[in-house]
Amino acid sequence: MKSNSILEFYDVSFTYPGDKQAVIQNLSFAAEQGEFISIIGPSGCGKSTLFRLLTGLEETIEGEITLDGAPAVKNRGAAGYMPQQDLLLPWRTIAENAAISLECQGMKKRDAYEKVSEFLEIFGLKGYEKKYPKDLSGGMRQRVSFLRTFLTGADVLLLDEPFSALDAITKLRMQEWLYKQWSKWNKTIVFITHDVEEALFLSSRILVITEKPIQKLREFTVPLPKERTRNDLSKMELVQMKQSLIELLKEKVMV
């Protein structure tokens, strides 16, 4: 195993209980501290399962998964996880939902709300803090869930399609905000998306799933510096990479 990786899968195999076909078979890959990695692949190929294993919601059958050098199951606090379903608590207001991660870390309620309120504007939730999840649109609920994950302060953020329900403009705004935050932190982000352009704009590396069970990830290094703008996506190399990624995904539609 590589010792300097913040996150590592080593020869991991996994099958859901009762299933015949494995989702993951002898898979190894790693992320280094400070990387922004996107994972793309067809629906049902096992992307969310990778996160469920990393967060200990499922246990590996074989192999080892580490977070910051320790077995992932024993080091859950190292990763902030934003699941694909928002899992907001219906009886808590928006501010209370966003504050959960801070309260879990022992922060007093009042301090936690103060911290949450600093971020309401950028997350497009100002004015909604006293409302309940049922009063919000899908995209807004997604932003509450993202804020909650962001506020964990964890060194590794696992974001499962965080912007999939957002309208085009809000999505661009959130992407730019996230990229700016990531450039300032030394955090590691693993980001699942179906949006190839989003992956190219945000990532240093893109890992593509092309097979089931997942044995290897095809790797693409995005040929852009850390300082980048959305206009860079029109560069020839980027347009070509986008085309190759789309072709690869088109070939691999799975049922």
Ligand X SMILES: Nc1ncnc2c1ncn2[C@@H]1O[C@H](COP(=O)(O)OP(=O)(O)OP(=O)(O)O)[C@@H](O)[C@H]1O
Cis upstream peptide for 90 (omega within 30°):
no
Among 96, 103, 24, 108, smallest CA distance to 59 is for 24
Task: Take residue 197 and report the two structure tokens written for it.
Answer: 């352009």
* Contact region with ligand X (CB under 6 A), list: 45-53, 72-80, 104-112, 230-238: 45-53
DSSP helix/strand/coil, 159: strand
Nearest CB to ligand X, comparing residues 148 and 212: 212
Residue 38 contact among Mg ion, ligand X, none, beta carbon within 5 to 8 Å by kind: none
> 38-97: which residues touch Mg ion (CB under 5 A)?
47-48, 84
Query: Which amino acid, one-letter code, is at 83?
Result: P
> 70-129: which residues touch ligand X (CB under 6 A)?
84
Nearest-approach distance from CB 100 to ligand X, in angstroms:
23
Place of tokens 């992407």: 175
CA distances from 30 to 45, 149, 203 (A): 19, 22, 15
| Strands of the sheet with 24-32, listed across from one edge | 24-32, 5-14, 62-67, 70-71
Residue 49 contact among ligand X, Mg ion, none, beta carbon within 5 to 8 Å by kind: ligand X
Residue 156 contact among Mg ion, ligand X, none, beta carbon within 5 to 8 Å by kind: none
CA 181 to chain centre: 14
* Count of other CB atoms within 10 angstroms of residue 9: 26
Nearest-approach distance from CB 107 to ligand X, in angstroms:
32
157 binds ligand X (CB under 6 A): no
DSSP helix/strand/coil, 219: strand
DSSP helix/strand/coil, 226: coil
Q: Please give the size of the binding site for ligand X, defined by CB under 6 A.
A: 11
Nearest CB to ligand X, comparing residues 51 and 150: 51
45 binds ligand X (CB under 6 A): yes
Nearest-approach distance from CB 83 to ligand X, in angstroms:
10
Nearest-approach distance from CB 191 to ligand X, in angstroms:
13
67 binds ligand X (CB under 6 A): no
Residues across the chain: 255
| Binding positions for Mg ion, rule: CB under 5 A | 47-48, 84
Q: Which residues lie near ligand X (CB under 6 A)?
A: 16, 23, 41, 43-49, 84
